[in-house]
Amino acid sequence: MPQIETTKYYDEFLRYYSLALEQQKLCNVSSEEPYGMVSHMDSGIPDDLMCNVELYDVVERKYAGFSQIVNDVFYGWTDQHPYWKKMEAGKATVQREAIAKNWTGKHNEFSLPEWLYVFILHRVTGSAINYGTKPSGYHNTLLFNLHKAKDIEGMVEIVNKHPKPFYTSIGYQFPKFPKPPETYKRAGDYYLSEYAPRLAREMAEWLESGGKRDLREIGSFMLDWNVKNGLNKYVFQYAAVVADIADWYPQYVNKESMFYYGTNAVECISYLANATEKMKKEVFLDKVMTKIYEDTGSYPYNAEDVCCDFIRWVENYIRPGNDYDHLDFDKVWSSCTIKDHPYGRQKAMLDMRIVKTFNGITNHPSDDAVIKSASLTVELYRKMYESHNKSNLQYSAA
């Protein structure tokens, strides 16, 4: 069997996972008291970034920002909603109350094809996400209107009559849609009108034909369907739909099966372990994911999303603007113990005067943006940090 050797990042990942799990219970959702009702600032989590930014409070995709609205439309204003205790206590956001009350009853009115269409529409239009706002998962979405429809045809009619665009790439992305004929205003409308309904119905029939499917088996059905119908493979967006099926229709899914890996997850996993023998990339990724599953009990499709959040946490991600404009970007840091990480926004970059300030930035400095602007390589940056840290230790000892 191919082998891996974990790194210091893996140990830190496990520590982050335990912090995020605790914050999920305190500030997001829990089946027991406090039912997720504690504010992030009052959580007592020993991590400034997690206390100030409402992004790192989840270890299950179903409760992440990009899935919040799906809970509302699927369960409505009922005690089946995972956030019912908060809703019942008057802790629901304005957005949640409006959506959930409007969608009450749709769970039984819609059948599997309709719900698959809702999942597809939500994911290909950007998952309503905007990491710069609180709550983050209700941005620019058509789901505020689709309760008015009785079936897929009714939803398609709303798609084509909606006066404003309902697509967002703020923190997420939508795929390259097929070129539309002149009768459609937007390429996405064309896809949602002519392709998505057929995909939803054919996939529903396939899922209902019997047996549980592995996550990648469901993904292959969708990707192959696109190819057969002359479309690009919407791997990123369809992977999210596959996860939706696991969360809201688990009777069709082997939830413990392997999932897909997005760009951020691949970057994260590359830090977590090294291969001790030659192996294909996917085999390596699966091996690390199996290790995570064994150590945390997190299903791979959930752990993949935790990996994405973890690398953001290591790189001190805050989306500038909107509801986080009041923060001092030179003072809010994660509790990550890996201080020589060369990417993103790091306190060491200030301490070593590579940058004067992070306040006033309009975008989070992704990847090697900061060290590249200082003409530093990863190796040079780490050597620079090592020398800086040694000097500080000597000064403190004196």
**Domain coordinates of the chain in residue numbers?**
4-314, 339-397
Q: How confident is the model at residue 163 (pLDDT cuts 50, 70, 90)?
A: confident
8 A C-beta contact, residue 258 and residue 304: no
Q: How confident is the model at residue 398 (pLDDT cuts 50, 70, 90)?
A: very low
Q: Tell me the C-alpha distance between 378 and 106, whole Å.
A: 53
Residue 114 to residues 104, 108, 288, Cα–Cα distance (Å): 15, 11, 36
pLDDT digits (tens, 9 = 90+) for 261-301: 999 999 999 999 999 999 999 999 999 999 999 999 999 99
pLDDT digits (tens, 9 = 90+) for 254-270: 999 999 999 999 999 99
* Average pLDDT value for residue range 127-133: 90
Residues in contact with 390: Cβ distance below 8 Å, sequence separation at least 6, in sequence order: none
pLDDT tops 60 at residue 396: no
Residues in contact with 278: Cβ distance below 8 Å, sequence separation at least 6, in sequence order: none
- Amino acid letter at 60? E
* Average pLDDT value for residue range 307-327: 94
* Average pLDDT value for residue range 208-225: 96
